[in-house]
Structures are given as C-alpha cells and as structure tokens.
Amino acid sequence: MRLADATWTDVRDADVDVAFIPVGSTEQHGPHAPLGTDTLDAVAVAEAGAAAYEAATGEGASEVVVAPPIPVGVAEEHRAFAGTMWVSPDTFRAYVREAAESLPHHGVDRVVFVNGHGGNVEALAEVARRFSRDPDHDGYAVAFTWFEAVGDHAGDMGHAGPLETALLRATNPDLVREDRVPDAREGAAARWGEWVSGVNLAHDSDAFTENGVVGDPSAGDAERGRELLDLASDALAELATAIVERESI
Amino acid sequence: MRLADATWTDVRDADVDVAFIPVGSTEQHGPHAPLGTDTLDAVAVAEAGAAAYEAATGEGASEVVVAPPIPVGVAEEHRAFAGTMWVSPDTFRAYVREAAESLPHHGVDRVVFVNGHGGNVEALAEVARRFSRDPDHDGYAVAFTWFEAVGDHAGDMGHAGPLETALLRATNPDLVREDRVPDAREGAAARWGEWVSGVNLAHDSDAFTENGVVGDPSAGDAERGRELLDLASDALAELATAIVERESI
Amino acid sequence: MRLADATWTDVRDADVDVAFIPVGSTEQHGPHAPLGTDTLDAVAVAEAGAAAYEAATGEGASEVVVAPPIPVGVAEEHRAFAGTMWVSPDTFRAYVREAAESLPHHGVDRVVFVNGHGGNVEALAEVARRFSRDPDHDGYAVAFTWFEAVGDHAGDMGHAGPLETALLRATNPDLVREDRVPDAREGAAARWGEWVSGVNLAHDSDAFTENGVVGDPSAGDAERGRELLDLASDALAELATAIVERESI
Amino acid sequence: MRLADATWTDVRDADVDVAFIPVGSTEQHGPHAPLGTDTLDAVAVAEAGAAAYEAATGEGASEVVVAPPIPVGVAEEHRAFAGTMWVSPDTFRAYVREAAESLPHHGVDRVVFVNGHGGNVEALAEVARRFSRDPDHDGYAVAFTWFEAVGDHAGDMGHAGPLETALLRATNPDLVREDRVPDAREGAAARWGEWVSGVNLAHDSDAFTENGVVGDPSAGDAERGRELLDLASDALAELATAIVERESI
Amino acid sequence: MRLADATWTDVRDADVDVAFIPVGSTEQHGPHAPLGTDTLDAVAVAEAGAAAYEAATGEGASEVVVAPPIPVGVAEEHRAFAGTMWVSPDTFRAYVREAAESLPHHGVDRVVFVNGHGGNVEALAEVARRFSRDPDHDGYAVAFTWFEAVGDHAGDMGHAGPLETALLRATNPDLVREDRVPDAREGAAARWGEWVSGVNLAHDSDAFTENGVVGDPSAGDAERGRELLDLASDALAELATAIVERESI
Amino acid sequence: MRLADATWTDVRDADVDVAFIPVGSTEQHGPHAPLGTDTLDAVAVAEAGAAAYEAATGEGASEVVVAPPIPVGVAEEHRAFAGTMWVSPDTFRAYVREAAESLPHHGVDRVVFVNGHGGNVEALAEVARRFSRDPDHDGYAVAFTWFEAVGDHAGDMGHAGPLETALLRATNPDLVREDRVPDAREGAAARWGEWVSGVNLAHDSDAFTENGVVGDPSAGDAERGRELLDLASDALAELATAIVERESI
C-alpha cells in the first residue's frame, strides 16, 4: 500500500505487517543522471520489495505500507555541485526518526528504512538503533541500503556509475541523458575517495571527481538494472520477513 | 525546472531566479481523499506557478527551480486517524530550513515555500523569517499557502472539504474515492475547531470531526479545482515576481 | 490571586481553578508609548479577567492564579528600533512552557497564556498544544491574545495604534506621551506589512513604518480603553470557564 | 531609565553606559514573605543602584538602563512548596543570554545581571562568561547577587530569613505578613542544606526546612533593610563604574 | 575496583555500594606542572578515597567502583595558554551525566563526582541535581571537589599553586618540573581574579596571571601533599558513607 | 608529546605537526579482558604511532601531541553487560568535537582520532567531517580505527577476540585473565551480529553472544599483538604524514 495514495480508513482496515520508508537524496549524479536518482531508486526498490513480500505471504494476507520518500539527506559531500541539497546529520536523524515514530502510534511497529544514498547509511543505522531501543513505543527498525544487497554487483557501486545508472535505465529511462554518458564516463573517477591507511582523506567529492561521477555509467544497461531491482527487492522482502518474525531487538 | 529530474549541470547552466519548495503532509483527509493530499496539492500549485512565472518572464529568460516536496509536516493534530505521520515543529523547522539553505550556497537566494497544509503555516512563517535574517547567506524566503490565495474561495477551506477535494479532482482524479464522498460528507464537521472567545479549545481534530472531514467534499468539482489551480498559481507567480525584485527583507 | 504577592501557604490553601500567565514583550511602541506596552496590557487584561472570573463563580468559591508576566518575547521584527529586546522563538517557547509546567506540579492544571504581543501568537499556540499533549502531566493550556477578543475593535489593531494606546490610557495613563502623539500619528504606517498574494514580504517592521507606529494612536481615548478592557476581560473569563469545564484536549 | 517605561526614542537619544537586568524567581519564601521576593528585591537593588551610579557620574551625563525583571529562575529545589515556578538551567541560561544580547545590538554593550536568587548564581555566572566571549558582538557582562555584596550582613543570609525579610520591610512592607512571622521563625531551619565533607547532600529544600524558611525572619527590621539596600546599591554602582571603564574581558 | 581494569563479570559479582567518577581537565598549570594536573589529582583522591571507604566498611564487605577519569572539562578561561583543552559547559554536563547514567542501569545508584578542577564545580553541581531528580532511574549523585575538603589548607588553593603542586609531589613527583618552580613563583599572581563588589571581572585567567600560576608553588612539599591526600580521601570516604545511607534526595 | 604530562610552555615551544586524540570505550570485553580494553588499545596505538611519525620525520624536527584518551563512547549495544558505560551518539560527537576544536585555537590544525571501538566508528567519521568543514577554524581531521589498519589480520576482529586480546597481551599483559580465557572462548560467538540481506538485525550484543565475546581470544598471543601494534602504528604514522601534507579537505 502506497501510503500517500491510501486513505486513513484504508490503513485502519488493513492488516499491516511492516512499513518501508524510502530515503533518498537530492544531489549531483553527474551530467547524465538526475539529482533525484537516490530517491527514485529507493522508491523503486521499496515498491518492488513490497510487492515481493506481499506475493510471498499470499494474496491479501498482509500488507506493506510504503511511506512517501524522504527527499533530502546527508549529502554535504556533494555541495560543490550545483543543485545538491542537504541537511545536517542531526536534523536528518531527527526528521526520519520522528516521522517513523508516527507508525507505532498506529500499531505499525516494524519499519525498514529503504535507502538509496551512501551518505545516509551511518545516520540511518543510528536512527534504527535509537528507534528500536526507545522505551516509549514497541517499534523495531532496521536500515537497508539497496546497493549493498545485490550480490556481486555491489563491488561496482561507484556514484552515478554502473549500478545507479542501470537501475534508472530499468525504472526511469527518460531521466538518463544517454547523449551525455560518454562525457560522464570520461570525466569519472575510478574510485570513491582518496585513501591512506584505510582512511578516506577526501571529505568532499569534488576532491576526487571532476564531474561527480565515480565508475563507468555505460557499464550497466536496462537489463542489468532489472536484475538489480530483482535482487534488491527479493533481499528486502526476505529482510521484512525476518524482522516481522523477530521478537527481541 | 523540476530539480529532482534535472542534472547538476542543468542547474549550473540555468538562469535561476527563484526556487519553490513544495511542503506537504501525510495525514488523514477523510475516507475519500488520500493521505498525501497536501503534498499532491502543493506540488501541483508549485509546478503550475513555476510555469506561470516562466511564461510571464518570457521564454528561456529565467527559470524557477521546483524542489522535491517535503512529505511529512506538523500534523500531530490528526494523530487519532490511522496512517497520519508527523514530526515535531522543531524538527520540521530545522529540516525545511536546512534543506532551503542549500540553495543560496548555489546562488539561488530567493525561495518560496509552497505549502499545502494548515498545520505548517506557523512553522513555515518562522522558517522564512529566520532564513531571511541569517547573516551567513544572502537568502530571502517567504511562505505561501495555496488555499489562502484563492480569493473568495478561501472561506470554504475546511479539511478534505470543498477546496482540497476539488483541486484533487482537477489534478489527481484517480485518488478521490467518489463512492465514499457521501459518507465523507455525512460525517463531516461544519467547522474546524471548537471556539470560545476567539480561541480554539480543540488541539486535536478528533475532538470535533468523527471521520476527519471538515466541510462538504461534494461542493467542489474538477472545474472548480481548475479555477483554484489557476488562482493559486497566478498568485504564486505574482509573489515570485515581487520577491525577485525586492531588495531589503 | 497575584502569584508574586502571595505566599506558598496561600497557594496551598486556595482552591485554584486556573492560572493566567501574562506574556508581554519589551519592544518599540512608537515615540509616544512605552517599550513595556505589551506586558502592561497583558497584565491589565489578566488581572481584570481574573476578577471577572472570580466574580462570576461567586465569592471565595474558587480562584485564579495570575503569574508574573513574561517580559521578553518574540520581537526580532522590531530590532531596528532602540531598546527592543527579544529572544529566539525556540528559547521563548521553552521558557514559557517550562515555567507553565511548574503549575500542574502543584495541581493547577488549567492554564491560559494571556498575551499582549502579535509576534508571540504563533509561538504560544505551539506551546499550548505541546503542553496539553504532554503525557508527563495532566495540564491543558490555551493561548489568548487580548486584541483578538474585543469584537469589532479588532480590525483597528495596528501597532502602538488606536487599541494599544487606548488601553494604556485607561490603565497606565502616565506612560503615554500625549505631546508626542501628533508626531506618532504623522509618521505612522496605515497597515502592518507589505502584502502580495496574501503574503507579507516585510519580515522586519522598519521596512514599512518609519517611527514604528501602525494606525492612528489618537483614535482611542481612555473610555475606549475601558471598553476594550471590559471586552477582553469578559472574553477571558468566559474562556477560563470553558477550559475549566472541558475534559478532553 | 526604566526600560519598560521608556520609549524607543528615549533610548535612542540617551547616553547609556550600562544596562542592569534584574533577575528574580517566583518561589516559596516561607509563610510570611511573597513568592515574588527575589524579583522584588532584585528590582529594588537595580533601581537604587542605577540611581547611585547616575548620581555619581553627574546629572544627565550618562544613564543606566534597567530592564524589566526576569521573573522565573532556577528554583526546582523549592518544588515541594506550592506556587513555586521554575525552568531548567538550560532554558534559563538561554532566555537570559538572548534577552541580554538584544542590548549590544543597540550599542549598549556593558551589562550587569542583578540577581536576587541563590539558585540563579551559577547559571548567571555562566551566562556572563559566554556573553562576554561571544565573537558576534562586543558585549561584556557580569553577574551580581545583592546579598553577596552587603558586607558582614552576608553571613546571615538564610532563605526568607533576616536579610530578605528586612529588605522587603524597607521596600515592600505591605507584602510581609507580620502576623505569620512567629510561625515562620519557629519552623525555620538554622542553616541551608545538610552538609558532609563540604558537600550539601540535600538537593531539595524540603529535606531540611519544613516551612521553607532558613534563618530568623524577625532579625531584620526595615532599618536594616534600608542599610542593606544602601550597601548593595553602592556596591552595584561601584561595579558598574568598573566594568564601564574596563577594556578587556 | 578500578572499573577500566575490571571485567564485566567482576562488576556483576561484586557488591558495589557507590561509584566514584574522577573528573579532571587538561589545562595549563603554569610552566612547572603538567596540563593533566587536575585529572591526576582527581584520580589520586578517588582511588585513595575508595581504599579508605573499603577499609572502613571491612574487608570485602562492599566495594567502590572507580570509573576512568573524564579528561576534558570546563576550562575555556585558560584558552590563552597553549595546550589547554575545553568543551562548552552544555556538552560537559551532557557527557558526564550520560556516562553516569550507565551506572544505575547496572544497579549502582550512588555516585560521587570526584573533581579536580575549579571550573567544573558549578557544572558538576548541576549534573548531580539533575541526575538525582531524574524520574527514569533511582540514582542519586553529589559532586565533591578535593581541594574544598582539606580543612584549613583550602584557603591556599590558587592555581598550580601550593596545594596542587604539593599533591603532585606526593603522587606524581616526576611530572613536577622543579627547576622551573622559581620562575613559576615569580610570575604567579597572588590571587585568582580581579574583584569589585564581590564580583570577579576577569572571565579569562590571562587577565590576571602572566604564566598561569596563582599562589606560590614552592609552598607545598610532598609531605604536605600526603597530608592533603589523607584529608581529601578521608572526607570522600565519609561522604560516600553518608550518601550510601541516605534515603531521600 | 603526551599532552597530559607536558606543560603549557612545552606545547608553546614545540613544533607540533599533528595531534592524535585516542578515543576508547568502557565496555564489556568478556570475562577475560578489562572493560577499558578499547581505551588501552587506542592509547597504545596512538603513542606508538606518534613515535613512528617522529622517528620518520627526524629527531626533534616536529612533534605529535597525544591527547588524553576519551574514556566513554558509543557503547549502548553492550548495556546488558555489567560495568559498561556509554553516552548517546549526540553527546559523544559534541564532546569529541569540542575537545578537538581547542587544538586549532593553539595552532594545531591537523587531528587524527585514534579509535579503539567499533561502535565509535560512524560517530567519529561524522565528527571529522564536521570539524574539517567548519568555517570558524582551519582544522582538518580524520578518524582512524586501529583494527581496520592491520592488513589481513582485520578479518579476525570479533570482540574481545583474537586481535584485541593479542594487543593487550603485548601492551597490558597483567590485565588479561588467562585463566578465564578457556571459558571466554567457549561462550564466544563466531560472528558479530545476526545478518539477513546484508543487514544486522541485532542492535544489542547480548542477542548473539552470551558472555560478550566474539571470536577466539586464545588465537592471538603477545607476539601477534606486537605485530598488530607495529602494523597499526606504521599505518597511523603514514596517515599523519599524508594529512600534514594535504592542503584541501
């Protein structure tokens, strides 16, 4: 159930097992991919994951609520690139956590943050822990980042690179500027960050990529995108099953 | 320019006069209208307002950036109704303000919050003031609520009543459950709140409306919705012109 | 009972129905009216309202506690005028709310904020809601602004204009500089703010008034002030009766 | 100049050397003295101190602004006694500091907090330091507590005891319930707190005083009160002279 | 039991009466004494106090947990001197309080902050009160500053002066640069601060001491240091006994 | 230079390139290893790293300041085990960041957080970013966690397992309870957490380890510990060289 499209009576009458909250970002994704990439990808995975979960548990037996996506995240690292929006980690955590806390108020006490942005990972993990330990409600949450749950593909991640571009090609093809992909590829960095002794010295992305891209955006076609969507949504459905069954935190 | 669909190079290359940030809510809108009503309406008005502004200033002369909508607002007053999400006013203000502050960082220093929810009005006014007085950037912002800028219609506002339902009928007709409108109408309150000496005694909406509706949702057809959209978007375009020209705060 | 003048044993022994907390401001009120106008007016209305309430409920039957006034409010909009003091809305809300929370600790769980300053209105409404929803005590509060409860007079409000000056003439005549009233009138703005599309573009008052005055301060004599006081205090007593009787929030 | 009674033009036209901000408390002072004792005393000392300063510097040469008193302080230690109001130290510090920061905005950059309550001492010292080190303005502040500046009398302080009662007898005699003084004296503690190894074990006052009084309230008549007022106001004037002349913090 | 050296099973199996949390500072102590003086002294007193307490209550009967020391405190007043570290009072209070709150979680609900730095005194007193009043746990805490509990010696305190240097000579003699003591003495101030009307005008220490020292560091030999250690640790043991026995706060 | 042992004049006279701030935790490390393990390890690596750096840059050429260790971290995940202390991530970040900000005040504007606890990793990364982007000073910081910089050993990490126990055996052998190691090993978990779809479902460690241990503590002798210390300290020295030479963030 897409929460924004449902009515309050729909939610009241449904048998909801778990909620997915897509969490994105509005940030540079090179010259070829839209600023909303992370949000679009998070929504696509959340909706496909909900369908997979509902299919697995049987027609009408139970439902997944998919909340509207959080559009602005922890993305100050891309501030050198026009159009990038961000909030501080403190504010991001508060906004996501409080929004999520509305759900146990209505009896929906299992929550997965379905994340599309690397810069949100740490903050969402912290939100999930705090939410789960909160003595004021019975909620339990975990944070899931789709590109960490796509098997061997994960090693190709980059930024606006093979995986993200492929997923867009499968789900939002009109938003990929194919004519700019050669340029995007040429100006791309091979790797995220500048590393010494296991530490990334570069706090901002413009220190290592001129056009914002990391990895080769031509290395992922729509077919690969569909495969990524299947892998991620299956993993998400499996995760949902596990947390619905889990008792302790 | 819809920011989420644009690339960072698009933003860099554009001549942007002003940004619109749609601000919605995910909250009960009776048995007939979706939880996302306020967000949908804010987006519709922001996009139509941007088109009106751009049309008025001439082809390609300048552009309006329309940010992705903020989906969860100050809506605790509806907490009794399933599916309603909210954050505290403090967190809402911080999230909106910090997201907006990304824009002057990129040289976009005129911002209008295009709001679709009554509960956000006070908080957004405060954000606009603080943003405009901030000595750390040159930004200037104002808060615009679409249903306060529709002339004489404004008196019919209610909640999930004539105006909001009409605007949905014009912009998102599939999301209005027409078959439930008679029930929605029957259980509706005539007026928002319980008033004594000019003060609303009812902090939560379930104190005065059984199904969440205020006003008659059958009193606004799609035609009226189109008229509302025209009125609101013209008012927004006019406002944008005024703040782009304005110098002091 | 004026709380500051009573002893703790007086409070312990009284049968207190409700507390009034006057909330003012220390801010410019033109060349003719004192910086403390809003505080003086709030105190005058609170005390007259308490008398009216006590008279209505019968001699000694029950009492109203009138707290000492909060002297500095949300008034940054007047910062261009010397002597104006202000705090941030966050700090104002915290101070007022925490001070009020002392009262349910002593069993006084009905509170009215009696406000004299337009800039405090939004913040006090928020405090009243949060106070009333707080699960840690049984308190219930509402915010009352005297010049919104004076019938048709309300349309004349302005700033340091007819109503405020009239009320001062009735309650604190020595503090009105009658000799400066002609100047005050001459340099006054006709209306608060600069409006486009239902939005005030002027965040600070010096954008539209040269001497800080809005409205004609000579248009309200002491007689009118006494009428305002009667109207406001009767409205406040009625409000108090309503919230004392009210059960849910 | 009493700020609340002055107009903004008065402040603009004055030659102001320093501002005094009286800081009080609304808290139990035994069965015989009012809850507002600390505020009343702070105001009395601030006004007498201002007069002493102005007299010393010569007629019209320069002025002291006396702000309206802060009425609620750090007084949770008296929460067991009805009518006591308090805010958290965090909120108190923010409120006092921000209110004071309005003054350097108008060019008044020397501030003395004139304090009447022991529980505020630590918090005000912290505010004064932070205010003075703030790189955003040129303000410099110190915190003065009247009963620490009365020579040998200081040893008799107590609570609602000899000194406070005497000062009230000199300045607000109608508010002392003389008929309850014998009872007040009888139920009084001899000393504030319960001490072991230089540490007070009693965080709340009801642990050691049954009626809230510490010290003998009959041991200070109006004459002693006048002497206290002279001592404290002279000390305050001397302090003001010193900080007006001081350059570094 | 030194907590950092113990295992969790040791703590589980022990009969713990009370915890001591040493609180120090990393700040200038003249040219002759180390920046860690306050931490070293707090640890020395806490450990000697624990031994004294355990000796008094009998072998193995009960234990004192000595937590690892808090190394950075409220010391901005020494910021002019190289190497001084500090945090804001707000952050200091939060860090100490939250760390302490771990202890009642494990059933250790009596806590003494054993402090070695004057700048921490006010903040720790506030932490102790808030900790003790917290309705979420049964903890009760007090703040103890060693140099306030050494009888008549206390009058000699200064800064990096007789007492602190003496205690170091007794406990950490290698860290006292004896060859620099003559210089330290020569450049020392006689008294902490610059006082007018009972108020210290100097918020920062470089306003009154050129090399950071207050008092004569040659006036306290190791013997005096041992006496100080005995006095302070006996006082601390006595305090611990009192709070372990105490019921109300 | 160990900061706590140095005097302020030592720091003033030194040529300091970089500061290391050891960050530990006081938390369960099984029945055989002390609660202070993470702090001890962080200090050992920081001091060895400083020596390695100074050796590499040449005698007396430049120095590393090693600050006193932060003893309590983000460790609520171990709250089920007695003696574990923790603070909230918000407070931890504020404490570490503010303490670090003292250093650029003295001209030391390169900082490495030398971390010994997995639970601190995310929070320290965030602190390093915020510190480095702060426009109020020139500081630049990175976060280094020793067990991520020991080459292939890193895969054996666990908790109180092979690596941490080995490093203790090399640096603090007396604190390892060798007689309890067989028990520690027996009750140990094989792996940290309970994983589904790349997500750890277990927010608290007692969900998957009965005695707190993860990995085999007998699998790392003192020799291995020395090798770990060499690897980690060399990596740290190399990192320090890199950030001292680096210009942009």
- On chain B, the residues whose CB falls within 8 A of the CB of C125 are 122
Cα–chain center distance at E163: 13
Q: Report yes or no on C178 lying in a domain.
A: no
Beta bridge pairs of residue C114: C22, C144
pLDDT at E61 > cutoff 80: no
Q: Report yes or no on E215 lying in a domain.
A: no
Q: Report yes or no on F207 lying in a domain.
A: no
Mean pLDDT of chain B: 96
Residue B78 in tokens: 């509806």
pLDDT at D249 > cutoff 80: no
Closest CB to A203: pick one of F76, F133, F203. Answer: F133
* Distance between CA atoms of residues A17 and A10, nearest Å: 14
Neighbouring residues of F116: CB distance < 8 A, sequence distance ≥ 6: F22, F23, F24, F25, F37, F38, F39, F40, F41, F42, F45, F145, F146, F147
Are A149 and F235 inside 8 Å of each other by CB? no
Count CB pairs under 8 A between chains D and E: 84
Up-side HSE of residue A29: CA atoms within 13 Å toward CB? 36
Predicted pLDDT of residue F62: 86
Predicted pLDDT of residue E249: 65
- On chain C, the residues whose CB falls within 8 A of the CB of D36 are 3-5, 68
- On chain C, the residues whose CB falls within 8 A of the CB of B201 are 142, 242-243, 246
pLDDT at D57 > cutoff 90: no
* Class of residue E39 by CB neighbours under 10 A (exposed 0-12, middle 13-18, buried 19+): buried
- Please, are residues C130 and C176 in contact by the beta-carbon 8 Å criterion? no
The single residue listed with the structure tokens 């810069």 is A119
Q: Report yes or no on A110 lying in a domain.
A: yes
Give the mutation candidate from D148, D157, D196 for the E interface (greatest E CB count, under 10 A).
D196
* Distance between CA atoms of residues B72 and B78, nearest Å: 12
Q: Which pTM value belongs to this model?
A: 0.98
Predicted pLDDT of residue D78: 98
Give the mutation candidate from C1, C7, C29 for the D interface (greatest D CB count, under 10 A).
C7
Interface list for A 5-24 with B (CB within 8 A): 5-12
The pLDDT-based confidence of F248 (bands split at 50, 70, 90) is: low
Neighbouring residues of C247: CB distance < 8 A, sequence distance ≥ 6: none
One-letter identity of residue A85: M
Are A26 and B39 inside 8 Å of each other by CB? no
- CA-nearest residue to E37 within chain F is F4
Interface list for F 198-227 with A (CB within 8 A): 198-204, 207
The DSSP annotation for F187-206 comes to T-BSSSS-EETTEE--SSGG
CATH number for the domain including D100? 3.40.50.10310
Phi, psi of A32 (to 5 degrees): -110, -15
Predicted pLDDT of residue A62: 86
Predicted pLDDT of residue C248: 65
Q: A and D: touch, per 3+ CB pairs < 8 A?
A: no
Are F94 and E95 inside 8 Å of each other by CB? yes
A163 inside 8 A of chain B by CB: no
Beta bridge pairs of residue D110: D140
Closest CB to F144: pick one of A77, A148, A199. Answer: A199
Closest CB to B85: pick one of A33, A34, A99. Answer: A99
Q: Per the structure, how many domains does chain B have?
A: 1
D122 inside 8 A of chain E by CB: yes
- CA-nearest residue to D89 within chain E is E126
Helix H or strand E encompassing B65: strand B63-66
* Distance between CA atoms of residues F114 and F116, nearest Å: 7
Are D197 and E89 inside 8 Å of each other by CB? no
Question: What is the domain range of residue C120?
Answer: 3-152+225-241
| Cα–Cα distances in angstroms (integers) from residue A154 to residues A159, A161, A186, A189, in the given order | 12, 12, 22, 17
- Listed in order, strand segments (DSSP E) in chain E are 16-23, 63-66, 110-115, 140-145, 195-196, 199-200
Average of per-residue pLDDT across D233-243: 98
- Please, are residues A25 and A117 in contact by the beta-carbon 8 Å criterion? yes
A170 inside 8 A of chain F by CB: no
Share of chain E above pLDDT 90, in %: 96
- CA-nearest residue to C23 within chain D is D71
Give the mutation candidate from A3, A8, A93, A210 for the B interface (greatest B CB count, under 10 A).
A8
* Distance between CA atoms of residues B109 and B30, nearest Å: 38
Rounded to the nearest 5 percent, the helix, strand and coil shares of chain A are 50, 15, 35
Helix, strand, or coil here: B70? strand
pLDDT in tens, C93-117: 999 999 999 999 999 999 999 999 9
Interface list for B 62-121 with A (CB within 8 A): 65, 67-72, 79, 81-88, 90-92, 94-95, 98-99, 102-103, 105-106
The single residue listed with the structure tokens 């009794």 is B80
pLDDT at B183 > cutoff 70: yes
How many other C-beta atoms are found inside a 10 Å radius of the C-beta of residue F223? 11
Are B87 and A69 inside 8 Å of each other by CB? no
* Distance between CA atoms of residues A213 and C199, nearest Å: 41
Helix H or strand E encompassing A22: strand A16-23
Cα–Cα nearest to B93, from B103, B84, B101: B101
- Please, are residues F13 and F106 in contact by the beta-carbon 8 Å criterion? no
Q: Report yes or no on D197 lying in a domain.
A: no
Q: Report yes or no on A139 lying in a domain.
A: yes
Q: Report yes or no on E11 lying in a domain.
A: yes
pLDDT in tens, F126-167: 999 999 999 999 999 999 999 999 999 999 999 999 999 999
Closest CB to F81: pick one of E8, E65, E83. Answer: E8
Tens-digit pLDDT string for chain C (249 aa):
999 999 999 999 999 999 999 999 999 999 999 999 999 999 999 999 999 999 998 766 789 999 999 999 999 999 999 999 999 999 999 999 999 999 999 999 999 999 999 999 999 999 999 999 999 999 999 999 999 999 999 999 999 999 999 999 999 999 999 999 999 999 999 999 999 999 999 999 999 999 999 999 999 999 999 999 999 999 999 999 999 999 766
Helix, strand, or coil here: E200? strand
pLDDT in tens, D114-144: 999 999 999 999 999 999 999 999 999 999 9
Q: Report yes or no on C171 lying in a domain.
A: no
Sort strands A110-115 and A140-145 into parallel, antiparallel or unpaired. Answer: parallel
pLDDT in tens, D200-230: 999 999 999 999 999 999 999 999 999 999 9
Give the mutation candidate from F111, F199, F236 for the A interface (greatest A CB count, under 10 A).
F199
Predicted pLDDT of residue B59: 66
Predicted ipTM of the assembly: 0.97
The single residue listed with the structure tokens 């927010």 is F203
The single residue listed with the structure tokens 């800064």 is E159
D52 inside 8 A of chain E by CB: no
pLDDT at D4 > cutoff 90: yes
Give the mutation candidate from D3, D9, D186 for the C interface (greatest C CB count, under 10 A).
D9
Cα–Cα nearest to E113, from E34, E45, E26: E45
- On chain A, the residues whose CB falls within 8 A of the CB of F46 are none
pLDDT in tens, D99-117: 999 999 999 999 999 999 9
Sort strands D195-196 and D199-200 into parallel, antiparallel or unpaired. Answer: antiparallel
Which strands form E16-23's sheet, in the order they lie side by side? E63-66, E16-23, E110-115, E140-145
pLDDT in tens, C145-179: 999 999 999 999 999 999 999 999 999 999 999 99
- On chain D, the residues whose CB falls within 8 A of the CB of E196 are 238-239, 242
E141 inside 8 A of chain D by CB: no
Predicted pLDDT of residue C123: 98
Q: What is the dihedral of CA A109, A114, A117, A122, to 10 degrees?
A: 40
